[in-house]
Amino acid sequence: MQRITTKLLQPVEWQTNARCAEVDPEIFFPERGGSSKAARAVCGQCEVRMQCLEYALNNKEQFGIWGGTSERERRRLRKERTLRRLRAVS
Ligand code: SF4
Protein backbone atom coordinates (compact mmCIF):
# COMPACT_ATOMS: atom_id res chain seq x y z
CA MET A 1 0.00 0.00 0.00
CA GLN A 2 2.83 2.38 0.76
CA ARG A 3 4.27 1.87 -2.73
CA ILE A 4 0.96 2.90 -4.31
CA THR A 5 0.69 5.97 -2.12
CA THR A 6 4.26 6.97 -2.92
CA LYS A 7 3.63 6.55 -6.64
CA LEU A 8 0.52 8.70 -6.51
CA LEU A 9 2.26 11.46 -4.59
CA GLN A 10 5.38 11.63 -6.74
CA PRO A 11 4.00 13.79 -9.53
CA VAL A 12 2.66 16.42 -7.18
CA GLU A 13 6.13 17.70 -6.38
CA TRP A 14 7.24 18.37 -9.95
CA GLN A 15 3.80 19.48 -11.05
CA THR A 16 4.05 22.52 -8.82
CA ASN A 17 6.54 23.87 -11.38
CA ALA A 18 4.54 22.80 -14.42
CA ARG A 19 4.26 25.51 -17.02
CA CYS A 20 0.94 24.10 -18.26
CA ALA A 21 -0.75 25.17 -15.03
CA GLU A 22 -0.63 28.71 -16.42
CA VAL A 23 -2.51 28.01 -19.66
CA ASP A 24 -5.73 26.47 -20.97
CA PRO A 25 -5.39 22.69 -20.40
CA GLU A 26 -7.43 22.03 -23.55
CA ILE A 27 -4.41 22.78 -25.74
CA PHE A 28 -2.74 19.64 -24.37
CA PHE A 29 -5.54 17.47 -25.70
CA PRO A 30 -5.99 18.45 -29.35
CA GLU A 31 -8.62 16.74 -31.45
CA ARG A 32 -7.39 13.93 -33.68
CA GLY A 33 -5.52 15.61 -36.51
CA GLY A 34 -5.47 18.91 -34.60
CA SER A 35 -2.36 20.93 -33.89
CA SER A 36 -0.28 20.34 -30.79
CA LYS A 37 1.98 23.27 -31.61
CA ALA A 38 0.72 25.50 -28.79
CA ALA A 39 1.14 22.75 -26.18
CA ARG A 40 4.60 21.85 -27.43
CA ALA A 41 5.62 25.50 -27.24
CA VAL A 42 4.58 25.59 -23.57
CA CYS A 43 6.39 22.34 -22.85
CA GLY A 44 9.48 23.73 -24.54
CA GLN A 45 9.62 26.42 -21.87
CA CYS A 46 8.85 24.10 -18.96
CA GLU A 47 11.53 23.39 -16.37
CA VAL A 48 10.03 20.02 -15.42
CA ARG A 49 9.74 18.69 -18.95
CA MET A 50 11.93 15.64 -18.38
CA GLN A 51 10.14 14.67 -15.15
CA CYS A 52 6.84 15.06 -16.95
CA LEU A 53 7.97 12.89 -19.85
CA GLU A 54 9.31 10.20 -17.51
CA TYR A 55 6.05 10.20 -15.59
CA ALA A 56 4.05 9.83 -18.80
CA LEU A 57 6.28 7.02 -20.05
CA ASN A 58 6.25 5.17 -16.74
CA ASN A 59 2.49 5.49 -16.38
CA LYS A 60 1.74 4.77 -20.04
CA GLU A 61 -0.25 7.98 -20.42
CA GLN A 62 -2.22 7.42 -23.60
CA PHE A 63 -3.78 10.80 -24.15
CA GLY A 64 -2.50 14.31 -24.56
CA ILE A 65 0.82 16.08 -24.78
CA TRP A 66 3.21 15.25 -21.96
CA GLY A 67 6.78 16.48 -21.82
CA GLY A 68 6.33 17.89 -25.31
CA THR A 69 5.49 14.50 -26.82
CA SER A 70 2.39 13.05 -28.43
CA GLU A 71 0.90 9.64 -27.69
CA ARG A 72 2.54 8.23 -30.80
CA GLU A 73 5.95 9.62 -29.86
CA ARG A 74 5.68 8.14 -26.36
CA ARG A 75 4.74 4.74 -27.77
CA ARG A 76 7.84 4.88 -29.96
CA LEU A 77 10.03 5.91 -27.01
CA ARG A 78 8.68 3.05 -24.89
CA LYS A 79 9.36 0.57 -27.70
CA GLU A 80 12.91 1.89 -28.11
CA ARG A 81 13.54 1.57 -24.38
CA THR A 82 12.18 -1.95 -24.32
CA LEU A 83 14.39 -2.95 -27.24
CA ARG A 84 17.43 -1.38 -25.55
CA ARG A 85 16.72 -3.30 -22.35
CA LEU A 86 16.30 -6.55 -24.25
CA ARG A 87 19.57 -6.00 -26.11
CA ALA A 88 21.35 -5.23 -22.85
CA VAL A 89 20.37 -8.55 -21.30
CA SER A 90 20.97 -10.71 -24.39
S1 SF4 B 1 6.32 19.45 -19.94
FE2 SF4 B 1 4.43 20.30 -20.75
S3 SF4 B 1 2.81 18.93 -20.05
FE4 SF4 B 1 4.62 18.53 -18.82
S5 SF4 B 1 4.43 19.77 -16.99
FE6 SF4 B 1 5.59 20.94 -18.46
S7 SF4 B 1 4.15 22.16 -19.59
FE8 SF4 B 1 2.99 20.58 -18.52
Q: Is 55 in the pocket of ligand 1 (CB under 6 A)?
A: no
- What per-residue confidence (pLDDT) applies to 2? 43
Q: Is 52 in the pocket of ligand 1 (CB under 6 A)?
A: yes
12 Cα to the center of ligand 1, angstroms: 13
Q: Which long-range contacts (CB under 8 A, 24 or more apart) does 54-63 make?
A: 55/10, 55/11, 55/14, 57/81, 63/29
Nearest CA to ligand 1 atom 8: 20
62 Cα to the center of ligand 1, angstroms: 15
Of the candidates 73, 43, 46, 42, which has an alpha carbon nearest to the alpha carbon of residue 57?
Answer: 73
Residue 13, phi-psi category: left (phi > 0), alpha (psi -120 to 50), beta (remainder): alpha
Q: How many whole angstroms separate alpha carbon 25 and alpha carbon 64?
A: 10
Using one digit for the tens of pLDDT, what is the confidence trace for 19-78?
Answer: 999 999 999 999 989 999 999 999 999 999 999 999 999 999 999 999 999 999 999 999
Q: Which amino acid is at 36?
A: S
Q: Is 74 in the pocket of ligand 1 (CB under 6 A)?
A: no
9 Cα to the center of ligand 1, angstroms: 17
pTM for the full predicted model = 0.85
